[in-house]
Amino acid sequence: MSKSVDSFNLYKVSEAMLDNPFMACVVVDEHGIIRFINQAYLEWLHKDRNEVMEKHILEVTPHSKLPEVLRSGKSDPLDLWTVNDRETIITRYPLIKDEQTIGAVGQTIFLDKAGAKILMKKLQTMEKEYETVSEVLVQSPYLIYVIVDKAGSITFMNQTYLHLLGMKKEDVVGKHILDITPHSKLPEVLRTGDIHEIDTWTVNGRDTIITRTPIIKDGEITGAVGRSLFLDMSQAKMLINKLQETAKELNYYREEFRQLYQARWQFDDLIGVNPEFTMVKSMAQQLAHTRSTILITGESGTGKELFAQSIHNQGGQEGPFVRVNCAALPENLLESELFGYEEGAFTGAKKGGKPGKFELAKGGTIFLDEIGDMPIGMQTKLLSVLQERVIERVGGTNPISIKVRVIAASNRDLEKMVAKQEFREDLYYRLNVVRLHIPPLRERMEDIPLLVNYLMAGINTHLNANVMHISNEALHMLQNYNWPGNVRELQNLLERAINLASLKQAACLEVQHFPSLTGEALPPAVSENGRTTLNDSVQRLEKELIEQTLKSTNYNKSQTAKELGINKSVLYSKMRKYGLFD
């Protein structure tokens, strides 16, 4: 066995001191191989001891800086460190014997009263092993340690404390603590057995924060430990400032995230008096207060996402509303988008990995739009997630529990797809816990006047226009149209009509402002100087062609892309560009 491995037999006391749930610790040898890791760190990593022991530190924590400490032989400054969304302050330092670096330690530096009690129990059987620590334990310039026996005689003092006192090891070991530091309170700890959770202490004019803990064996006090939390107050202030800056950045990104995944629509935005529509709306309002999985069906453009957002908002979930378009993403990217990935999972994977949509939706709602277009292979994995409520990132091994509401939507007949074995039957029944079917616009013509008034107000605000009225003839024409594109098509036609009316400085929409319904040709696109531009004309023609093809295929995106001779992802990009989504 090598010298570095032998040296780790000297760590029995350090293991006892650090194996508590309030102080994570890992020790590696000179090759970066893990020789000790305490239970607190294992729990943070969600791993068992046999999964990490004898492994290289970078296999367990890919961003560890302990290899840098091994290379430099220098202690690392106090640093913020995050493990599985838990943030702590950590110190790293080399282990040195005979002027050679034989390993390195990474440990958190906070210890509270509960942790101190656990530490005290761990030390009960270690009284005779104090001396073994002195060669290698805790050589960090940011921490001071001193251990005394039951008589108050010093059995160990680390190099940092010795340096502050201006003394050598032989000057202090064996001496009574009051001979070295006359105002020490360790004798009081020996006398009372009390834990001094936090206290200020001055060493040669430098203020530090210290904790003191008794060592108990067989019910008797056999020693005491004094340990600093900060070397001096300036470092504490530095860390406080750093934490405050980090908190500001975190709040900024949290707000950015909230804005990105915010549900805008409320039930008040769902306009209609049609009996079937109001019944679906009432059912959705009741379901909002449950955690049941919901399947929303209906033709394209009927407002399935508006219903999903309204359910999320009324349900009062604290988490975000995260939308996933299952048809827009290529099959090879869908899994990593849904479940996330670890660093190195595939070529091009981001450093540090990336959380998936299920993780991002924690405490909120994930909306799986166009679920009928999800590939069969992904349906199997989604079924497992819905059953177990646990995901694994691509390239990862750690299960991640999820607490998220699932709302799925489809404009396809899933029952027919099940019969044709195009959609998993067990997934269909898992999703179809509660079903909301939104009627198409052609079956609720009595709602068109209400929808027109509501939509025109929003469009005028968006366009900064002032076309607030519609003639009876134009409204009658809208009520006699079949609306294959449903409410989305109505909104697009109204926006186009308001643009045309604004160009002619009209304040009321007339029949001629709806040329696509009357068969009239649209006026050509013109630039600011009054001339038609090629780019505008091409874009206008492209938009019209996509809209017509969508209508002819009943808004089946796959069929539309096929007929247009373009990739489905290109179609989605152009639909987004021209505002052809909800």
- Are 228 and 120 in a shared domain? yes
Choose between 86 and 450: higher pLDDT.
Answer: 450
- How many helices (H) and strands (E) are present in the chain, helices listed first? 26, 21
- Are 314 and 358 in a shared domain? yes
Q: Evaluate if residue 3 carries a pLDDT over 50.
A: no
Q: Evaluate if residue 261 carries a pLDDT over 80.
A: no
Q: What is the pLDDT of residues 217-247, one digit of tens each?
A: 888 899 999 887 655 556 666 665 666 676 6
Which CATH number characterizes residue 419's domain?
A: 3.40.50.300
Answer whether residue 257 is part of any domain.
no
Answer whether residue 258 is part of any domain.
no
Which CATH number characterizes residue 478's domain?
A: 1.10.8.60
Opening angle at CA 543, ends 539 and 547, nearest 5: 170
For residue 527, what pLDDT is reported?
Answer: 46
Contact 436, 280 (CB under 8 A): yes
- Are 122 and 196 in a shared domain? yes
Answer whether residue 571 is part of any domain.
yes
Q: What is the pLDDT of residues 294-339, one digit of tens each?
A: 999 999 999 999 999 999 999 887 888 999 988 887 877 888 889 9
For residue 304, what pLDDT is reported?
Answer: 95
- Are 306 and 410 in a shared domain? yes
- Are 277 and 387 in a shared domain? yes
Answer whether residue 259 is part of any domain.
no
Contact 517, 482 (CB under 8 A): no
Q: Would you call 534 exposed, middle or buried from its count of C-beta atoms within 10 A (0-12, 13-18, 19+)?
A: exposed
Mean pLDDT of all residues in the chain? 81
- Are 451 and 523 in a shared domain? yes
Answer whether residue 186 is part of any domain.
yes
Q: Evaluate if residue 126 carries a pLDDT over 80.
A: no
- Are 308 and 336 in a shared domain? yes
- Are 197 and 307 in a shared domain? no
**Containing structural domain, residue 359:** 267-439
For residue 266, what pLDDT is reported?
Answer: 92
- Are 229 and 244 in a shared domain? yes
Q: Evaluate if residue 127 carries a pLDDT over 50.
A: no
Opening angle at CA 91, ends 87 and 97, nearest 5: 150
Split into its structural domains, the chain has a count of 4
Q: What is the pLDDT of residues 206-218, one digit of tens each?
A: 777 788 889 888 8
Mean pLDDT, to the nearest integer, of 359-382? 91
- The confidence band for 505, taking pLDDT boundaries of 50, 70 and 90, is confident
- Are 304 and 431 in a shared domain? yes
Answer whether residue 261 is part of any domain.
no
Answer whether residue 449 is part of any domain.
yes
Choose between 86 and 35: higher pLDDT.
Answer: 35
Answer whether residue 345 is part of any domain.
yes
Final residue belonging to a domain, choices 252, 280, 305: 252
Q: What is the pLDDT of residues 546-576, one digit of tens each?
A: 888 888 788 888 888 888 888 887 888 888 8
Choose between 562 and 488: higher pLDDT.
Answer: 488
Choose between 63 and 52: higher pLDDT.
Answer: 52
Final residue belonging to a domain, choices 49, 82, 110: 110
- The confidence band for 18, taking pLDDT boundaries of 50, 70 and 90, is low
Greatest alpha-carbon pair distance for the chain in Å reads 104
- Are 201 and 277 in a shared domain? no
Cα(150)–Cα(214) distance, integer angstroms: 9
Which CATH number characterizes residue 179's domain?
A: 3.30.450.20
Per cent of the chain over pLDDT 90 is: 36
Q: Evaluate if residue 451 carries a pLDDT over 70.
A: yes
- Are 279 and 359 in a shared domain? yes
- Strand runs labelled E in 472-565: 508-509
Choose between 301 and 122: higher pLDDT.
Answer: 301
For residue 535, what pLDDT is reported?
Answer: 66
Closest by CA position to 582, among listed 302, 318, 173: 302
Q: Evaluate if residue 176 carries a pLDDT over 90.
A: yes
Q: Evaluate if residue 204 carries a pLDDT over 80.
A: no
Name the token pair of 265.
Answer: 């629509």
DSSP 8-class letter at 20: B
Final residue belonging to a domain, choices 252, 283, 309: 252
Residue with tokens 């975000």: 320
Choose between 490 and 11: higher pLDDT.
Answer: 490
Cα(428)–Cα(432) distance, integer angstroms: 6
